[in-house]
């Protein structure tokens, strides 16, 4: 789960789930295009709360240059301590993935 600089405000860091990689075709949720092919050097990221998340559905594909770190655990609040699992919700899998 990447930590990246916000495309709209590089001073702000956001944590989102990677939904699609470059070359993948994704069905969007409320983006200006219903389907997007993720361009070279970009990823498609989404938050876990669809419709209430500032993510690629708001700003489009994200440049790999904005990646800053990778989140591995939730530490606060203590009752939520856990290791983050790289799980992609089945309904958000890319429609088509280019072969390398």
Q: Which phi and psi (to 5°) does residue 92 adopt?
A: -110, 10
Is 24 domain-assigned? yes
Is 52 domain-assigned? yes
For residues 97 and 25, the model is more confident at 25
**Is pLDDT above 90 for 98?**
no
- Going by pLDDT thresholds of 50, 70 and 90, the confidence category of residue 24 is very high
Residue 45 to residue 42: CA distance in whole angstroms: 10
Least confident of 7-11, 13-17, 85-89, 95-99: 95-99
Is 100 domain-assigned? no
| Residue-range definition of the domain harbouring residue 48 | 1-81
Is 92 domain-assigned? no
**Is pLDDT above 60 for 29?**
yes
Closest CA to 86 of 70, 64, 65: 70
For residues 16 and 91, the model is more confident at 16
Is 90 domain-assigned? no
Instruction: Check which CATH number belongs to the domain holding 69 and give it.
Output: 2.10.109.10
Whether the CB-CB separation of 41 and 33 falls below 8 Å is answered with no
Residue 59 to residue 44: CA distance in whole angstroms: 10
**pLDDT (tens digit, 9 = 90+) per residue, 34-91?**
999 999 999 999 987 776 788 999 999 999 988 878 788 888 899 999 888 777 776 7
Is 72 domain-assigned? yes
- Going by pLDDT thresholds of 50, 70 and 90, the confidence category of residue 15 is confident
Q: What is the number of domains present in the chain?
A: 1
Is 95 domain-assigned? no
């Amino acid at each position: 789960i990447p930590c990246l600089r916000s495309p709209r405000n590089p001073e702000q860091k956001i944590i989102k789930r990677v939904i699609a990689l470059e070359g993948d075709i994704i069905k969007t949720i409320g983006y200006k295009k219903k389907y997007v092919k993720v361009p070279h050097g970009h990823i498609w990221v989404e938050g876990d709360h669809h419709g209430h998340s500032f993510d690629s559905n708001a700003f489009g594909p994200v440049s790999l240059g904005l990646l800053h770190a990778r989140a591995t655990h939730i530490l606060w609040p203590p009752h939520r301590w856990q290791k983050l699992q790289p799980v992609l919700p089945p309904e958000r899998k890319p429609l088509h993935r280019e072969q390398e």
